[in-house]
Every structure is written in C-alpha cells, then in structure tokens.
Amino acid sequence: MIKMISWFGTMVSIIGAFCVASQVLLAGYILFSLGSISWLIVGIVKKDSALYILNGTFFMANILGLFNAFKG
C-alpha cells in the first residue's frame, strides 16, 4: 500500500510541476498538495523525518499557493 501511495505522490507531483510551469496554477497547486500529502504519509509511516519535514513544508507552501491563486 505504501508503494502505491509513493507512486501516486510521484505522479501527481510531476503533473503538478508541469501545470505550474504552464501557468495552470490552480490545478498545479492542487496536484502538488496531493503529492506532498502522499509523501508526508510515506515519511511518517517509514519514520523518515527528513521526508516528512520536507513534504510538510511543501504542503504548507502549496496551501499558500492555493490561497494566492484564489485571491488573485
């Protein structure tokens, strides 16, 4: 199950990166958020503090990006 979550996180993060690069910001930030949540779960389950701190931070940055996308 954790392998599926990590591959899901990888796929949506890659697609999200291309969406943001293509200025499709709302979809990109949503996909990036899903990816960071997925990797946050993986990091917690595997007790990998570097992974869950990084993706927890990415998740907060994505929430800020979503806020700005809706605001602006």
Mean pLDDT in consecutive groups of 10 residues from the start of the chain, 72 residues: 96 96 92 96 97 96 90 75
Q: Residue 72: what pLDDT?
A: 66
Closest CA to 40 of 54, 61, 60: 54
Between the CA atoms of 27, 31, 32 and 33, what dihedral angle is there, to the nearest 10 degrees?
100
**1: burial class by Cβ within 10 Å (0-12, 13-18, 19+)?**
exposed
Q: Residue 69: what pLDDT?
A: 83
What residue segments make up the domains of the chain, in order of their start? 2-71
> pTM higher than 0.75 for the full model?
yes
Between the CA atoms of 24, 21, 39 and 61, what dihedral angle is there, to the nearest 10 degrees?
-80
Cβ neighbors of 4 (< 8 A, separation 6 or more) are: none
